[in-house]
Amino acid sequence: MDQWVPATDFIAADVVRWTEGIYDRRRRGKALRIGERLIAAEVIERGKDGWVKLLVRACTITKDEYAGRPIILLKAGESIKRGEKTILRGKPQRLLWNDETARTAVANGSSRGSRYISKEDDKS
Protein backbone atom coordinates (compact mmCIF):
# COMPACT_ATOMS: atom_id res chain seq x y z
CA MET A 1 0.00 0.00 0.00
CA ASP A 2 1.30 3.45 -0.91
CA GLN A 3 2.03 5.77 1.99
CA TRP A 4 2.57 9.43 1.22
CA VAL A 5 4.12 11.81 3.76
CA PRO A 6 4.48 15.61 3.52
CA ALA A 7 7.83 16.50 1.96
CA THR A 8 9.92 19.55 2.72
CA ASP A 9 12.96 18.11 0.94
CA PHE A 10 13.58 15.31 -1.55
CA ILE A 11 16.56 13.46 -3.02
CA ALA A 12 17.27 11.60 -6.26
CA ALA A 13 15.24 8.36 -6.51
CA ASP A 14 12.38 9.77 -4.40
CA VAL A 15 8.88 9.62 -5.85
CA VAL A 16 7.08 12.91 -5.17
CA ARG A 17 3.65 14.23 -6.03
CA TRP A 18 2.42 17.81 -6.06
CA THR A 19 -0.27 19.99 -7.60
CA GLU A 20 0.49 22.65 -10.17
CA GLY A 21 -1.70 25.20 -11.86
CA ILE A 22 -2.25 25.11 -15.61
CA TYR A 23 -2.31 28.45 -17.38
CA ASP A 24 -3.35 29.50 -20.87
CA ARG A 25 -1.01 31.92 -22.59
CA ARG A 26 -2.48 35.16 -23.82
CA ARG A 27 -1.09 37.69 -26.22
CA ARG A 28 -1.71 40.57 -23.84
CA GLY A 29 -2.29 40.80 -20.13
CA LYS A 30 -2.14 38.29 -17.34
CA ALA A 31 -2.15 34.53 -18.00
CA LEU A 32 -5.50 32.81 -17.44
CA ARG A 33 -5.65 29.88 -15.02
CA ILE A 34 -7.61 27.08 -16.70
CA GLY A 35 -7.11 24.22 -14.25
CA GLU A 36 -4.90 22.22 -11.94
CA ARG A 37 -3.19 18.85 -12.17
CA LEU A 38 -1.68 16.38 -9.72
CA ILE A 39 1.69 15.05 -10.88
CA ALA A 40 3.52 12.03 -9.44
CA ALA A 41 7.11 11.77 -10.65
CA GLU A 42 10.43 10.17 -9.78
CA VAL A 43 13.32 12.55 -9.10
CA ILE A 44 16.12 11.76 -11.55
CA GLU A 45 18.51 14.58 -10.80
CA ARG A 46 18.50 17.64 -8.59
CA GLY A 47 20.77 20.38 -9.87
CA LYS A 48 22.62 22.94 -7.80
CA ASP A 49 20.98 25.70 -9.87
CA GLY A 50 17.49 24.98 -8.45
CA TRP A 51 16.17 22.83 -11.32
CA VAL A 52 14.92 19.27 -10.86
CA LYS A 53 14.77 16.62 -13.61
CA LEU A 54 11.81 14.28 -13.17
CA LEU A 55 10.32 11.18 -14.78
CA VAL A 56 6.51 11.33 -14.81
CA ARG A 57 4.79 8.29 -13.28
CA ALA A 58 1.18 9.58 -13.21
CA CYS A 59 -0.76 12.75 -13.97
CA THR A 60 -4.43 13.55 -13.28
CA ILE A 61 -6.56 16.66 -13.64
CA THR A 62 -7.87 17.83 -10.27
CA LYS A 63 -9.67 21.03 -11.35
CA ASP A 64 -11.06 22.02 -14.73
CA GLU A 65 -11.96 25.66 -14.13
CA TYR A 66 -12.41 26.95 -17.65
CA ALA A 67 -14.61 25.08 -20.10
CA GLY A 68 -13.58 25.04 -23.72
CA ARG A 69 -9.83 25.02 -23.17
CA PRO A 70 -8.12 21.63 -23.52
CA ILE A 71 -5.87 20.64 -20.63
CA ILE A 72 -2.87 18.61 -21.70
CA LEU A 73 -1.95 15.66 -19.48
CA LEU A 74 1.66 14.64 -19.07
CA LYS A 75 2.31 11.10 -20.28
CA ALA A 76 3.80 8.44 -17.99
CA GLY A 77 7.47 7.95 -18.86
CA GLU A 78 7.90 11.53 -20.07
CA SER A 79 10.89 13.51 -18.74
CA ILE A 80 10.14 16.99 -17.40
CA LYS A 81 12.11 19.76 -15.72
CA ARG A 82 10.66 21.89 -12.92
CA GLY A 83 12.01 24.48 -10.54
CA GLU A 84 12.47 23.30 -6.97
CA LYS A 85 10.39 26.23 -5.70
CA THR A 86 7.56 25.30 -8.08
CA ILE A 87 7.37 21.81 -6.59
CA LEU A 88 7.60 23.08 -3.00
CA ARG A 89 4.78 25.57 -3.69
CA GLY A 90 2.41 22.73 -4.72
CA LYS A 91 2.13 20.98 -1.30
CA PRO A 92 4.52 18.13 -2.17
CA GLN A 93 4.26 14.64 -0.73
CA ARG A 94 6.89 11.92 -0.82
CA LEU A 95 6.28 8.19 -1.23
CA LEU A 96 7.82 6.27 1.67
CA TRP A 97 10.63 3.88 0.78
CA ASN A 98 10.39 0.22 1.80
CA ASP A 99 13.61 0.78 3.77
CA GLU A 100 13.72 4.34 5.13
CA THR A 101 17.13 3.70 6.75
CA ALA A 102 18.60 3.23 3.26
CA ARG A 103 17.08 6.55 2.19
CA THR A 104 18.58 8.26 5.25
CA ALA A 105 22.00 6.82 4.39
CA VAL A 106 21.75 8.09 0.81
CA ALA A 107 20.50 11.52 1.94
CA ASN A 108 23.38 11.91 4.43
CA GLY A 109 25.94 10.82 1.84
CA SER A 110 27.29 8.03 4.03
CA SER A 111 27.65 5.50 1.24
CA ARG A 112 30.64 3.17 1.30
CA GLY A 113 31.92 4.39 -2.04
CA SER A 114 33.61 2.15 -4.57
CA ARG A 115 35.38 -0.94 -3.29
CA TYR A 116 37.78 -0.72 -6.24
CA ILE A 117 39.18 2.70 -5.33
CA SER A 118 41.27 2.92 -2.19
CA LYS A 119 41.02 5.97 0.07
CA GLU A 120 44.55 7.06 -0.91
CA ASP A 121 43.68 7.03 -4.65
CA ASP A 122 40.56 9.09 -3.98
CA LYS A 123 42.56 11.96 -2.40
CA SER A 124 44.90 12.47 -5.37
Closest by alpha carbon to 44, among 74, 12, 18? 12
Q: What does the pLDDT look like over 20-65, one tens digit per residue?
A: 988 887 778 888 888 899 999 999 988 888 899 999 999 998 888 7
In 3-state terms the chain splits into helix, strand, coil percentages (rounded to 5) of 15, 40, 45
Residue 57 and residue 14: Cα distance in Å, rounded? 12
How far, CA to CA in Å, does 42 sit from each of 15, 22, 34, 75, 81? Answer: 4, 20, 26, 13, 11
The one-letter amino acid code at 76 reads A
Q: What does the pLDDT look like over 61-106, one tens digit per residue?
A: 888 877 677 778 899 999 999 999 989 998 999 998 888 788 787 7
All structural domains of the chain with their residue ranges: 4-112
**What is the value of pTM for the model shown?**
0.75
